[in-house]
Amino acid sequence: HLSQPQFCHDLDEVERRELKLFAQRRKRENLGQGSVRPLPLTSAGAVCQQCGGSVRGGALAVFAARAGLGLCWHPQCFQCHQCQQPLVDLVYFCPGGAGGRLLCGRHHGDTLRHRCPGCDEV
């Protein structure tokens, strides 16, 4: 709900418009969802972007198109760079574009806007 104007009841019209633009830009530029699938059995393998370990052919791997084509992670390694929250089956954000670090929604929001110390909203 961090970027949904309909859940922020105390915003004036200017703030509501700014929040809507923020949400649109965030989705367009950074939002993605990892895809879990096995590497082909015929594959020589790949390198996990988080731990640097090998992902063998036939093993499950997570692919994240916004982070870079051909990059993959072990399912347990596909996590927020800041809080280590697992991101498998969740949306991820990749603010640096291809090859950038992965962030959960909360920590990605923190990179764009400051949090209110009173209510903890961006």
CATH code for the domain in which residue 75 is found: 2.10.110.10
Residue-number span of the structural domain to which 100 is assigned: 32-112
User: Does residue 92 belong to any structural domain of this protein?
Assistant: yes
Q: Are 122 and 3 in contact (CB under 8 A)?
A: yes
Q: What is the pLDDT of residues 61-74, one digit of tens each?
A: 999 888 888 889 99
Among 89, 118, 88, 91, CA closest to 106: 91
Q: Are 87 and 102 in contact (CB under 8 A)?
A: yes
Q: What is the pLDDT of residues 71-114, one digit of tens each?
A: 899 999 999 999 999 999 888 888 776 666 888 888 887 877 77
CA distance 20 to 43: 43
Is the pLDDT confidence value at 46 over 60? yes
User: Does residue 57 belong to any structural domain of this protein?
Assistant: yes
In the block, residue with structure tokens 């110390």: 117
* pTM for this entry: 0.72
Q: Are 48 and 72 in contact (CB under 8 A)?
A: yes
pLDDT band at 1 (very low <50, low <70, confident <90, very high): very low
